[in-house]
Amino acid sequence: MNKRALGDRGGTLVFTISAALLSSCLLLLFFSESFFDSFLLFFINPLTNRYYLGNMIAFMAPLIVAGLGIAFAFESHNFNLGGEGQLYSGSLAAVLVAIAMKGKPAALIWLFSFAAAAAAGGLIGALSGFLKRRLAVDELISSFLVSSIVVLLVDFLVTGPFQDPFSNFQATRAIPPAAVLPKILPPSSLSTGIFVALLVLLVGKFVLERTRFGFELRLCGANKDFARYAGIDEGVYALVPMFLSGALHGIAGALMIFGSYGRLLRGFSSGVGWSAIAVALIARNKPLALVPAAAFYAYLDSGAKSVMIGAGASPEIVGIIQAVIFLFITAARLPFLKPPALLAAHRRGGKAGDRGAP
């Protein structure tokens, strides 16, 4: 990518974020009782309050890992809409393994629990890849439908056979205390899980950008005909990326359980499987860009909770604000969302026959 393309992308992103934040301020102005208080709670409190800041960083961990899973799928031109089901199945597998290994060293519990989470999530993801390869079933539809079934099944198990009989929560028994990831910034839920997420991200970046597998995966995503001509087995890259995507969602779920909740609760994910899609879109599937993208999403989530608790803002208004911001950012490639200076430069470049970045 040349310097002009990088400059265009950077300028467009800054412009769209500014436009999105301005729109959010206008919504707060019209729909909140006290604009100033709501503004401080939404935009400032997440960065200055120890509790909200810790929770914000904690929420980044599953978003980074699940976003990496979406990036693997998208880069191979597979569309994984089943993140929620993969996350749920991975979480359940991790919890059951951890409970079964009670009394064992924490390191062993973590190793086997996270491996089980990856395997369970990966198998759910691979099912859609298998259906695509063998039966030509669109993975976008199959992943969504399979995920819906898995979420309902896990909810049934959590509130039925696996529910803790000594608790009033709709949840499984707690994992062994030794298996809970160490806290960093109490009383928030921030734990060492954020470092696990960053380690997984670096490994994923290496695989995606520095290995033959990653090159062939991206080639299949960019041009299937050329990849087929080069002798690459297209079917493999319909199956393996979906497995990896599901495995990463499973790990993301395990991070939430071992880092924050300590047990699997019904509805615990708060839509992380869907949020990861937005994070990957913001990051343009670039592994390192997932960190600021996840930080931005977690910042908005923390701000939303802050303004709902502190100012009594309705969840609907907060949801609208979040949706407007992400609509601007994910639609940043649309011409009318480019800064006027960039639009003028593009027009001049087009008249001059410039064939630079699109």
State the pLDDT at residue 352: 44
Range of the domain at 118: 60-312
Give tens-digit pLDDT for 87-129. 999 999 999 999 999 999 999 999 999 999 999 999 999 999 9
- Which amino acid is it at 25? C
The whole-number average pLDDT for the span 254-277 is: 93
**DSSP secondary structure code for residue 258 in this structure:** I
- Which amino acid is it at 28? L
Same domain as 136, residue 96: yes
Same domain as 83, residue 7: no
Q: Which two tokens stand for residue 177?
A: 């205390």
Task: Provide, rounded to the nearest whole percent, the portion of the chain with pLDDT above 90.
Answer: 60
Same domain as 194, residue 121: yes
Same domain as 284, residue 199: yes
CATH number of the domain at 304, please.
1.10.3470
Q: Which two tokens stand for residue 203?
A: 């490994």
Task: Quickly state the pLDDT bin for 355 (edges 50, 70, 90).
Answer: very low
**DSSP secondary structure code for residue 256 in this structure:** H
Same domain as 216, residue 155: yes
Contact by Cβ (8 Å): 241, 78: yes
Decide if pLDDT at 357 tops 80. Answer: no
Decide if pLDDT at 321 tops 50. Answer: yes
How many domains, the chain? 2
Q: Write the burial class of residue 40 (CB in 10 Å: 0-12 exposed, 13-18 middle, 19+ buried).
A: middle
Decide if pLDDT at 183 tops 90. Answer: yes
Instruction: Evaluate whether residue 20 is within a structural domain.
Output: yes
Instruction: Evaluate whether residue 22 is within a structural domain.
Output: yes
Decide if pLDDT at 334 tops 70. Answer: no
Instruction: Evaluate whether residue 205 is within a structural domain.
Output: yes
**DSSP secondary structure code for residue 285 in this structure:** T
Same domain as 78, residue 213: yes
Contact by Cβ (8 Å): 273, 66: yes
Beta-bridge partner residues of 191: 183
State the pLDDT at residue 25: 79
The whole-number average pLDDT for the span 172-190 is: 94
More confident of the two residues 307 and 172: 172
- Which amino acid is it at 278? A
Distance CA 106, CA 88 (A): 22
The phi and psi torsions of 265 (rounded to 5 degrees) equal -100, 150
Instruction: Evaluate whether residue 288 is within a structural domain.
Output: yes
The whole-number average pLDDT for the span 13-33 is: 76
Closest CA to 84 of 276, 297, 330: 276
Same domain as 85, residue 28: no
Decide if pLDDT at 14 tops 70. Answer: yes
Same domain as 99, residue 17: no
Give tens-digit pLDDT for 220-262. 988 888 888 888 887 788 899 999 999 999 999 999 999 999 9
To which residue do tokens 């401080």 refer?
40
Same domain as 221, residue 92: yes
Distance CA 21, CA 18 (A): 5
Instruction: Evaluate whether residue 40 is within a structural domain.
Output: no
Task: Quickly state the pLDDT bin for 189 (edges 50, 70, 90).
Answer: very high
- The residues near 347 (Cβ < 8 Å, ≥ 6 apart) are none
Instruction: Evaluate whether residue 331 is within a structural domain.
Output: yes
Same domain as 273, residue 143: yes
Instruction: Evaluate whether residue 13 is within a structural domain.
Output: yes
Look at residue 138 and give its three-state secondary structure.
coil
State the pLDDT at residue 10: 56
CB atoms within 10 A of CB 83: 35
Distance CA 193, CA 127 (A): 28
Instruction: Evaluate whether residue 70 is within a structural domain.
Output: yes
What rounded mean pLDDT belongs to the chain?
Answer: 87
State the pLDDT at residue 307: 85
The phi and psi torsions of 201 (rounded to 5 degrees) equal -60, -45
Task: Provide, rounded to the nearest whole percent, the portion of the chain with pLDDT above 70.
Answer: 88
DSSP string computed for 177-226: GGGSPPBSSTTS--BTHHHHHHHHHHHHHHHHHHSHHHHHHHHHHH-HHH
More confident of the two residues 89 and 324: 89
Same domain as 68, residue 5: no
Buried residues in 264-297 as b, exposed as e (16+ CB within 10 A):
bbbebbeebbebbbbbbbbbebebebbbebbbbb
Q: Which two tokens stand for residue 18?
A: 């500014």
Task: Quickly state the pLDDT bin for 349 (edges 50, 70, 90).
Answer: low
Same domain as 318, residue 253: no
CA distances from 82 to 4, 74, 89, 114, 136 (A): 37, 13, 11, 19, 17
Distance CA 30, CA 56 (A): 27
Instruction: Quote the pTM value.
Output: 0.88
Decide if pLDDT at 315 tops 60. Answer: yes
Distance CA 16, CA 282 (A): 11
∠ CA 127-131-133, nearest 5°, is: 115
